[in-house]
Chain A
Amino acid sequence: MKGLGAVYRREVAGYFNQPVAYIVITAYLLICGWFFTSNVFLAGQADVRGFFAAAPLILVFFAPAITMRLMAEEWRNGTMELLLTLPVRDSEVVAGKFLAAFTVFAVAQLFTFAYPLTVSLLGNMDLGQTVAGYVGLLLLGAAFLAVGVLASALTASQVVAFIVSFFVCFGLFLVGKALPLMPQALEPVLEALAVDGHFENLVKGVVDSRDVLYFLSIVVLCLAGTVHALQGRRWGR
């Protein structure tokens, strides 16, 4: 576990010692801020729904931007070879890096607390619903970040890592939006796969174990896939 801690520390320091985290977080807050304000001031609704409704689409861009360098950079610089010959398990490396990315993501969410705070000053805010919304946001973020970590482990190019994870996340997002256009027989399957329904349930304030499980399964599957991808070195990568 010492290995996991060291990897985590290094990655978090790497994010915050460089402009990456600040740029990504600023961009995220700008976009979220727009959706929140337009809902509150233009539509005149004193709630955080505008923010939560826009979140999945924003995260489709935001999550890959956080994760793209995590593994790809190490493959490109050859540091992966040194890292994987230190006494750490592959799974510790993957977990440490994922948790570091999640930390950056969570820090970004801290700033968005300004929105529910504003709403509670303007009118009545449903606390339970907001908390459930944030649970949903963190779960959704974790799932997208895990997709990003996997994509980053599959290539030595950050750009490729970004594009691949963007497409997978966008696909999970789009399937839900495109449900009415899909063949009827496939609908239940696609609905279960799509991010939309699961996330909306949480935003509505309903914390259902099925939805939680959906996001956690994506995380576990992708991180297991990443550990597997690191084994690609066995064949002379």
Chain B
Amino acid sequence: MDAMIQVEALSKRYGDVRAVDDVSFAIRKGEVVGLLGPNGAGKTTTMKVLTCYMPPTSGRVTLDGLDVVDNPLAVRRRIGYLPESVPLYDEMGVYEYLDFIGRVRGLSASRRTTAIRDIVGRCGLKGVIWKGISQLSKGYRQRVGLAQAVLHDPDVVILDEPTTGLDPNQIIEIRHLIRDIGKEKTVILSTHILQEVEAVCDRVLIINQGRIIADGTPDQLHREFLGAQELQVLIRGTDADAARGALAALAGVDGVETGADQDGAVALNLACGKEADLREAVFRLCVERGWVLLEMRRKVVSLEAIFRQLTSGDGA
């Protein structure tokens, strides 16, 4: 298996507190993985171990076969990291800062110039490259933070809550950038925002109280944790009872509820099983009877519901 990152039985304790408890997972090359969990679940700690900021209490973490404890410098060379607080040196200019990062990373003068030019274009820093970091807005600080993390063309990019504290437009821009980065690189990002995972990630690891409680693509998680799905339809040209009777007779429908009438149209909610897709059958039925199908929407249980179900209470 071509695992880029391999985490085996990782535990990290701070005194008596188990921040991460016996966590194992593997991340393949090129995957964009979201670590999802409530605050304090162990996402940041996991990242701090991956980036060789602190060693694990027990367990083994390797990046492309390199152990984070035995080969920290080699691992760090291949990782780009942006901590949650987006720490930048306020007294430096943007260019000066990126140049400093390039120097510490051992890039030659010519490589630094090309790398910075490239990154300025990709991260949209053109307008601020000669400004001081202290003058930047939060959105631009975030971009500089991202630029710093990918400057040396790393194999793995680790981003800790990359969109916290941004306004909605900035959030969309940053997600765009992350998706762009994810095309070429392995990306691990942590978040407690579910839309972010759905928008950016190929795969989700849900962490709670230091343990991984779910692992899969957003679609897989949907399917796995979906009890039932709902089909909302709005039909004109019939009365509620006739529609209900006809729809209930369709194969796969577990129950039908009539909702409020809207302008002579009948609203109905169909409950159906996990895997079934009844949209086609409903459409054909309407055509057959000469009803007008005004609206049909499949309501899938959101990741949010799954997340709440998994992370609330001790029984989760």
Q: Does B bind A?
A: yes
What residues of chain A lie closer than 8 Å to B76, measured between beta carbons?
85-87
Judge whether A6 and B104 touch: CB under 8 Å. Answer: yes
Judge whether A79 and B105 touch: CB under 8 Å. Answer: no
Closest to A83 in B: B104
Using a Cβ–Cβ cut-off of 8 Å, how many residues does chain A contribute to the interface with B? Answer: 28
What residues of chain B lie closer than 8 Å to A183, measured between beta carbons?
none
What residues of chain A lie closer than 8 Å to B77, measured between beta carbons?
87
Q: How many A-B residue pairs lie within 8 Å, measured between CB atoms?
A: 71
Judge whether A2 and B104 touch: CB under 8 Å. Answer: yes
- B-contact bits for A202-237, CB 8 A (1 contact / 0 none): 000000000000000000000000000000011110
Our pick among A3, A77, A79, A84 for the contact of B53 (Cβ within 8 Å) is: A84
User: Is A78 in contact with chain B by the CB < 8 A criterion?
Assistant: yes
User: Is B81 in contact with chain A by the CB < 8 A criterion?
Assistant: yes
CA gap between A234 and B74 in the complex, in Å: 19
What residues of chain A lie closer than 8 Å to B27, measured between beta carbons?
none
CB within 8 Å of B: which of A6-25? 6-7, 9-10, 13-14, 17-18
Judge whether B14 and A235 touch: CB under 8 Å. Answer: yes
Our pick among B45, B53, B92, B106 for the contact of A87 (Cβ within 8 Å) is: B106
Judge whether A7 and B53 touch: CB under 8 Å. Answer: no
CA gap between A83 and B100 in the complex, in Å: 11
Q: How far is the CB of B96 from chain A (nearest CB, A)?
A: 8
What residues of chain B lie closer than 8 Å to A125, measured between beta carbons?
none
User: Is A185 in contact with chain B by the CB < 8 A criterion?
Assistant: no
Judge whether B105 and A18 touch: CB under 8 Å. Answer: no
Judge whether B105 and A82 touch: CB under 8 Å. Answer: no
User: Is A126 in contact with chain B by the CB < 8 A criterion?
Assistant: no
Judge whether A236 and B104 touch: CB under 8 Å. Answer: no
CA gap between A111 and B253 in the complex, in Å: 90
Judge whether B54 and A236 touch: CB under 8 Å. Answer: yes
User: Is B59 in contact with chain A by the CB < 8 A criterion?
Assistant: no
Closest to A76 in B: B87
Judge whether B81 and A14 touch: CB under 8 Å. Answer: no
CA gap between A235 and B45 in the complex, in Å: 11
**A87-B73, A233-B53, A234-B55 as given contacts; A81 in contact with B83, CB under 8 Å:** yes
What residues of chain B lie closer than 8 Å to A81, measured between beta carbons?
48, 53, 83, 87
User: Is B51 in contact with chain A by the CB < 8 A criterion?
Assistant: yes
What residues of chain A lie closer than 8 Å to B14, measured between beta carbons?
235-236
User: Is A53 in contact with chain B by the CB < 8 A criterion?
Assistant: no
Judge whether A87 and B104 touch: CB under 8 Å. Answer: yes
Our pick among A9, A10, A89, A235 for the contact of B73 (Cβ within 8 Å) is: A89
Our pick among B74, B87, B106 for the contact of A79 (Cβ within 8 Å) is: B87
Judge whether A9 and B53 touch: CB under 8 Å. Answer: no
User: Is A33 in contact with chain B by the CB < 8 A criterion?
Assistant: no
Q: How far is the CB of A105 from chain B (nearest CB, A)?
A: 20
User: Is B295 in contact with chain A by the CB < 8 A criterion?
Assistant: no
CA gap between A2 and B77 in the complex, in Å: 13
- A-contact bits for B139-150, CB 8 A (1 contact / 0 none): 000000000100
Judge whether A5 and B54 touch: CB under 8 Å. Answer: no
Residue among B81, B92, B100 facing the most chain A CB atoms (10 A cut-off):
B100
User: Is A193 in contact with chain B by the CB < 8 A criterion?
Assistant: no
User: Is B28 in contact with chain A by the CB < 8 A criterion?
Assistant: no
Judge whether A87 and B87 touch: CB under 8 Å. Answer: no
CA gap between A10 and B90 in the complex, in Å: 13
**A17-B91, A78-B85, A236-B19 as given contacts; A85 in contact with B52, CB under 8 Å:** yes
What residues of chain B lie closer than 8 Å to A174, measured between beta carbons?
none
**A3-B104, A3-B106, A236-B19 as given contacts; A85 in contact with B89, CB under 8 Å:** no
User: Is B101 in contact with chain A by the CB < 8 A criterion?
Assistant: yes
User: Is B79 in contact with chain A by the CB < 8 A criterion?
Assistant: yes
8 nearest CB pairs, A to B: A6-B103, A78-B87, A236-B14, A79-B87, A6-B104, A87-B76, A85-B51, A78-B85
Q: A2-B103, A82-B148 are known contacts; what are 13 more A-B pairs with Cβ within 8 Å?
A: A6-B100, A9-B103, A78-B83, A78-B85, A79-B87, A82-B81, A85-B51, A85-B53, A87-B73, A87-B74, A233-B53, A235-B15, A236-B54
B interface residues, Cβ below 8 angstroms from A: 14-15, 19, 45, 48, 51-55, 73-74, 76-77, 79, 81, 83, 85, 87-92, 96, 100-101, 103-106, 148
A-B CB contact pairs (8 Å), 25 listed: A3-B106, A6-B100, A6-B104, A10-B89, A10-B100, A14-B89, A17-B91, A77-B87, A77-B90, A78-B87, A79-B88, A82-B87, A82-B148, A84-B53, A85-B52, A85-B53, A85-B76, A85-B79, A86-B76, A86-B105, A87-B73, A89-B73, A236-B14, A236-B45, A236-B54
